[in-house]
Structure 1
């Protein structure tokens, strides 16, 4: 397909993937996370999210930038405790714009996203947004980077409880689903500092133009 199209590219890169003792299992987990994104955000996804390079880099495109952080969160929740870096970039795609296969696409937006991942590697960061709106980008980048840093520190149990809380929406429902007390759920969410993470993530979503999630 010829021509140029402006879109939103999301690229992810697993940190220290070469040190993973089971790279095949890592790739399976990445593919499962990307499948979840493609299903959950089907209405907003342009080119479906898929592995791009080896077992550690992946990406896709979005028609709606407002869901970009939700996509990142969905992937990271399923990769935990594995850590990845994420770049969200708005720009032109001039090779196969509008394609459904992200590996067949290329253009300035992809080049900038690659540069952003390199910047994150050098800086030790986890999240960078470049949509052309400097004020919103700075806010989303700062809040997202901090939120992901807190998520990195969660235990497997804390990550499980947070994910269940986002799905079930109340502590009582989480307690019933996990077979624990409501007090135990409350303590786990508090130890994970989830209220603060959730507030930061709501600001990211507002900055990117989405309705805040739980």
Structure 2
């Protein structure tokens, strides 16, 4: 894992920071002193003039990959609106624990938080929120399937549930502690590999890519 107070920074200017988050590191602070080390705390330590709450989107602790953070209030507002309006392009790479026969398609499932088993999400076609993901099979590797995900919505654990549920692809992501057989942080084979958005000040289209570390 990346050493404390450091991050793999792909881009920085006066308004934004783009980082490649390692698996096992929180995006934002959690509850308790032991869960304060995160992308936000490291960005604020590296760039002291950053706003107090620079996060505009998150990755699960066990998911690795690209995050953009705002350094100013105006940049935060503009980036947040892009995410809210679904104007941000995102691509993920995952390794599933089984062989998927289909070549690709669209997954659309409704799910919600299980209040008796937080933060687990459960399928609920009546009360759940709709999650939509386009996917494509990239190959088979030793009985596992490498896939590309392009989420159209950003629900909690969306890709993990769309992978594991029988109405989705039917196989959990390798190393998933909630929906598969993972046992500790840092094992999940899910990587946010591409991120596209417009710069909040210059309005220039920006695209960042990082290869999956698995």
TM-score (norm 1): 0.29
More helix by share: 1
Of structures 1 and 2, the one scoring higher in RCO (CA 8 A, sep 6+) is 1
What TM-score results when the alignment is normalised by the length of structure 2? 0.29
